[in-house]
Amino acid sequence: MWRLITENARCAAMDERERAALAANLRRARHARGWSQYELARQSGIHQPDISDIERLDQGINPTMDKLAALSSALGVSLSDLFYPPSPTVLRPEPC
């Protein structure tokens, strides 16, 4: 699906299905936490406009592995959960 070249490598040529899965799964995991894009930005250290671009399927966006790792870590999901159909753990909100 992608190759890692350097620490800040970009995902190589994500196709439309992969981009759509990433956008939907990122939004789903964020909503499961009850978080806004601003809260996810605060928790992950990723700028909110970058999160918005990913969720809107912006064609110019090709997030780095570092950004994807930070987002998945903040959301408590694996990187694969961001690219593949959701598992029940992605859909469940964090216990209070």
Q: Is the pTM of this model over 0.85?
A: no
Tell me, letter by letter, the H, E, C secondary structure of the chain.
CCCCCCCCCECCCCCHHHHHHHHHHHHHHHHHHCCCHHHHHHHHCCCHHHHHHHHCCCCCCCCEHHHHHHHHHHHCCCHHHHHCCCCHHHHCCCCC
Task: Kindly report which listed range (6-10, 17-21, 38-42, 73-77) carries the lowest average pLDDT score.
Answer: 6-10
Q: Which CATH superfamily is domain 16-83 in?
A: lambda repressor-like DNA-binding domains (1.10.260.40)
pLDDT digits (tens, 9 = 90+) for 12-31: 456 788 888 899 999 999 99
